[in-house]
Amino acid sequence: LYLWCNNSARYWPEIPVILAILIATVIMIIICLNVRKTTRASAQYASRRNSVHISTMVFEQACWFTGAFYITWVPYLAMQFMWSSGK
């Protein structure tokens, strides 16, 4: 536990957080693109308005999820980088 919480190390303790941010962002982009592709393919079987609405809802939900993630972790990372650089 001490090793993980040791802030005297130069940047490596933040690597898991940075990776989590990148992975969550990539996963949300993939989900949005797949939903968009699926709704376009199924548009011929449903009303056009409804399929676009579902795609928009998924995109908005992905933005809320990743936005909350960025609001939580980006300031923390900035603080950790400033603290470890001595500023």
Contact 53, 47 (CB under 8 A): no
pTM of the entire predicted model: 0.70
At 28, is the pLDDT very low, low, confident or very high (cuts 50, 70, 90)? very high
What CA–CA distance (Å, rounded) separates 21 from 66? 8
Output 46 or 27, whichever has higher pLDDT.
Answer: 27
What CA–CA distance (Å, rounded) separates 67 from 49? 27
At 1, is the pLDDT very low, low, confident or very high (cuts 50, 70, 90)? very low
